[in-house]
Amino acid sequence: MKRKKVTVMRPNNVWDSELIKISKDYNNYHFEIGNEMTSDIGEAISIMLKTKNWNDPIWDLKIEDINYYDIDPSKSLYWLSGGDKEWRFGEEYKCNWGDCYLKFQEEFGIIVFSIIKKSKTFKDIREGFMKYLNLPTLYNFALEKEIA
């Protein structure tokens, strides 16, 4: 996830609100969520889970032409397992994300791809993440691996 310095909207806007801006060119989505920028749809949805009202119409956006090369499951898993709040500032985890992200990716990476591939809308990804990659599931894994 990149921190943005300046808002950079591209010409093909898909969504534009105060907090979230989404544009699309060819098969690449570009997300600006608060101070974060990404082209990884899984990471973007993971961040939006913490920032967006669940009844917001953004969740009904249809997904089209995803570039799967832009998806890095470890980015989604970082935010789903607590994000900056837990990994940088919290005291729940015994190590930093850089030392243990491969364990999370080996265990859950294929699930991230599977959820995104099966999804037709942002809401479908959100529901899949909440069902299969919710915080209790990820935290129990961290306890088993003595990460937390």
Residue 139 pLDDT grade (very low, low, confident, very high; cuts 50, 70, 90): very high
Residue 127 CB-density burial (10 A; 0-12 exposed, 13-18 middle, 19+ buried): middle
130 vs 68, which has greater pLDDT?
130
Q: What is the pLDDT of residue 6?
A: 45
Mean pLDDT of the chain: 89
Q: Which of 45-49, 61-65, 117-121 has the lowest mean pLDDT?
A: 61-65
Residues whose CB falls within 8 Å of the CB of residue 60, separated by 6 or more in sequence, listed in order: 121, 122, 123
Query: Higher confidence at residue 147 or residue 5?
Result: 147
3-state secondary structure of 80: helix
pLDDT of residue 125: 97
Task: For residues 90 and 112, give the distance between their C-alpha atoms in angstroms, rounded to a whole number.
Answer: 24
Above 50 in pLDDT, residue 48? Answer: yes
pLDDT greater than 60 at residue 5: no
- The predicted structure's pLDDT at residue 1: 54
